[in-house]
Structure 1
């Protein structure tokens, strides 16, 4: 049985996790990198992203990461802060083959604000249904990657099978060392 969340919500959460993970890993440094990741995720408005747009986006990411790890009340306050700072004005849109979904800002808004508002709106949906546990971090001590736990019982602990295997092998070696 699939999760009761719209596809666009899951895409927004996975997009922001990917952006934050790539930035932290050093794979997202330039405007070209930002244009590429936005293109991969079909995030609109990034075709002409400049270095200033990239810098503004990087400036928003720590707040987004803080929300990813925070409790429900803290996330609610942070979401409202982003909405206030960006003058978010949600509207229903269709584009790129996607059905009706919400965008928080008009297409002419700065890309960095659009990314931050998109993340805030997705997290706001999880606050409303009290399901922020879907926003997880990898349980491997050597990895801090963010991921969206889409398991039915919110039991996923690792961002990838690589981290899961590495952790299991290390535990095996400790037990049998």
Structure 2
């Protein structure tokens, strides 16, 4: 069983499931036998938006437009965040799907580590926004949207070790790399969170 959980969330752009592979490979090489003490995984928060973004971009290419690369940047950068916040109250909407992706990754980590294992987050750009929203919602006493609406997902006893882990109460460090938002998480100082 792992002692420490390290989760990485990418920034805006096309979803690349292997974006953190170089980081995890460097850790594996540097830690040697201690590598087995870690559970490393990626949080792909925007995967549910990928198909629609690609469809819109393909449609844009069929028209005679200048600055296509800049438009793609705006589509990936601005549309991802706007799409997730535009339906925050909707059950099963983009905001909830983003939080479900984070929650599912944490569930997988909880099975590989103990419920009190420290969690280290690494995030970039829009990944910072997604994790900040998740952390904020998960640690509120009452919330009316996202996966934590109505007390949270079913099947986890509120206040249990598993519940605390899934609510990121064991978060020990959070490193943001080019956050697109000022960190609003409790205890956050600039771009590094430490409990």
**TM-score (norm. length: structure 1):** 0.28
Structure holding more strand per residue: 2
**TM-score (norm. length: structure 2):** 0.26
